[in-house]
Amino acid sequence: MLTIVFDLDGTLVDTAPDLIGTLNVIFTQHGLPAVPLENARPLIGGGARAMIERALAREGRTCSPADVDALYAPFVTHYAAHIADCSRSYPHVESALDRLAGEGHRLAVCTNKLEWLSRRLLETLEFAGRFAAKGRFESRMASVPVKVITHPQPGLFGAAAAFAEEHRR
């Protein structure tokens, strides 16, 4: 039996429409131009704060960390409320996960998305029960202990697999 670790955004689930939709809502509220979905997909990766910074840089804007914070907080709030309006698993993901689980493999998710948002997305899409370990590996929770690992770093998925192995169901 193997422990198989998946990234979440862009691997299991196409979250780009909701991430970019949220970015555009927040930008519009702050008088900034919206970014078309097809131009914004490359901005995704490394977390929401990095996406915001990349989108601002694309517009030729430089911002202080405080300016980014002013966009980040409402981004998280809006995204949490619209986390799966358009986000869907990629074709055949569910059947592949079912097959792997049916073969006895333990499945885990490792992501740079905030842990509580990761859990909300997985629960909303009814994926949460499929994984032995999920989250950003950033905090300790009562129901699932989680160790501190930052994504992406070399060895991250191995560490997530070891964590899932330690916390078998």
Q: What confidence tens digit (pLDDT) does each residue in 108-117 have?
A: 888 888 888 9
What CATH number does the domain containing 102 carry?
3.40.50.1000
pLDDT of residue 81: 98
Residue 162 has pLDDT above 90, yes or no: no
Residue 151 and residue 104 in one domain? yes
Residue 148 has pLDDT above 90, yes or no: no
Q: What confidence tens digit (pLDDT) does each residue in 64-83 have?
A: 899 899 999 999 999 999 99
Q: What is the 3-state secondary structure (H, E, C) of 25-75?
A: HHHHHCCCCCCCHHHHHHHCCCCHHHHHHHHHHHCCCCCCHHHHHHHHHHH
pTM for the model stands at 0.79
- Residue 160, classified by CB atoms within 10 Å of its CB into exposed (0-12), middle (13-18) or buried (19+), is buried
Residue 150 has pLDDT above 70, yes or no: no
What CATH number does the domain containing 20 carry?
1.10.150.240
Residue 96 and residue 141 in one domain? yes
Q: What confidence tens digit (pLDDT) does each residue in 93-147 have?
A: 999 999 999 999 888 888 888 888 998 999 999 988 888 755 544 433 333 333 3
Write out the catalytic residue numbers. 7
Residue 102 and residue 76 in one domain? no
Last residue of a domain, one of 81, 109, 128: 81
User: In which domain, by residue range, is 135 found?
Assistant: 3-14+90-166
Closest CA to 107 of 137, 83, 121, 127: 127
Bridge partners of 109? 6
For tokens 């809006």, name the residue.
78
- Residue 156, classified by CB atoms within 10 Å of its CB into exposed (0-12), middle (13-18) or buried (19+), is middle
pLDDT of residue 158: 54
For tokens 């560490």, name the residue.
159
